[in-house]
Amino acid sequence: NAGVTQTPKFRVLKTGQSMTLLCAQDMNHEYMYWYRQDPGMGLRLIHYSVGEGTTAKGEVPDGYNVSRLKKQNFLLGLESAAPSQTSVYFCASTYYDRLGEQYFGPGTRLTVT
Amino acid sequence: TQLLEQSPQFLSIQEGENLTVYCNSSSVFSSLQWYRQEPGEGPVLLVTVVTGGEVKKLKRLTFQFGDARKDSSLHITAAQPGDTGLYLCAGATGTASKLTFGTGTRLQVTL
C-alpha cells in the first residue's frame, strides 16, 4: 500500500515551458487535492476533485489546469510556467466523509527560472 | 477568504520543556486538524477535533478545540527532539472537505 505518490520529486523549468505533475493514490479515495506551499504562507489549495471526471477551482487556480480521468490519478498542469510558480506542490486525498482528514504525498519541488 | 493564524511562528526550546501552539480564526469550522510536517515530506495528520470544547490526547500532545469552533491549541508536555517539525492547523469547511491551513509553527527541540 503506497498511499499517495507524486511524480517527479524535483523539476527545474524555464519560463514559458510546460509540465505535468502526476499524483496517484491507491486508497480508493473519492476526493483529491493539489496544494502549493510557499515560505510563510502555509498550504494553499490550487484545484480539487470530488470524483472521477470532476474538477473545481481552489484558492489559487490561475496558471494551472487539472484533470481526473481515473479515480486514482489527479494531474496538475502548468501550460506556461512563470517564476511565481516556483514552489513545493503537494497532492492529497481523502474519503468523502472523513471530516477533512487528508493524506498527503511527499511533494514535488519545482523551480522556474 | 477564511484565515487561520498560528502563533508563535517559531519556537526553539530545550528537551523537557512544555509548550503551547495556538491556532485562531474568525470563522467557524466543521472540524479542525493538526498536522506535522518534516523537511522534504508531506504533512502527516496528528488529530481531528470536531466538537466545540473537545479535548484529545495523543501521548504527550494535548489538542483542544474552542467552544465556538473557531480556535484550537496544541500543548506538548516534556518536549523531545523527535517533536521537532512544522506544525500546521487546518480547518475544514463542509464542501468537499476542503481545508484552510494556518501558516504553521516551526518547532525546534534541542538536547
Handedness of CA A99, A106, A57, B1 (dihedral sign): positive
In the block, residue with C-alpha cell 484529545? B56
Tell me the shortest Cα–Cα distance from A41 to chain B, in angstroms.
Answer: 5
pLDDT at position B2, please?
61
Collect all residues of chain B within an 8 Å Cβ-Cβ radius of residue A40: 9, 103
Q: How far is Cα B69 from Cα A77, in angstroms, rounded to an integer?
A: 36
- What residue ranges of chain A have pLDDT lower than 70? 1, 97-98
| pLDDT tens series, chain B, 111 aa | 567 999 999 999 999 999 999 999 988 888 899 999 999 999 999 999 999 999 999 999 999 999 999 999 999 999 999 999 999 999 987 677 889 999 899 999 999
Average pLDDT, chain B: 93
Tell me the shortest Cα–Cα distance from B100 to chain A, in angstroms.
Answer: 7
pLDDT at position B3, please?
79
pLDDT at position B93, please?
78
Question: Taking CB atoms and an 8 Å cut-off, how many pairs form between chains A and B?
Answer: 71
pLDDT at position A99, please?
75
pLDDT at position B58, please?
95
Find the largest Cα–Cα distance for chain A.
41
pLDDT at position A23, please?
98
- Tell me which residue of A41, A39, A54, A29 sits closest to A105, measured CA to CA: A29
Q: How far is Cα A37 from Cα A91, in angstroms, rounded to an integer?
A: 11
What are the beta bridge partners of residue B32?
A: B49, B91
pLDDT at position A35, please?
97
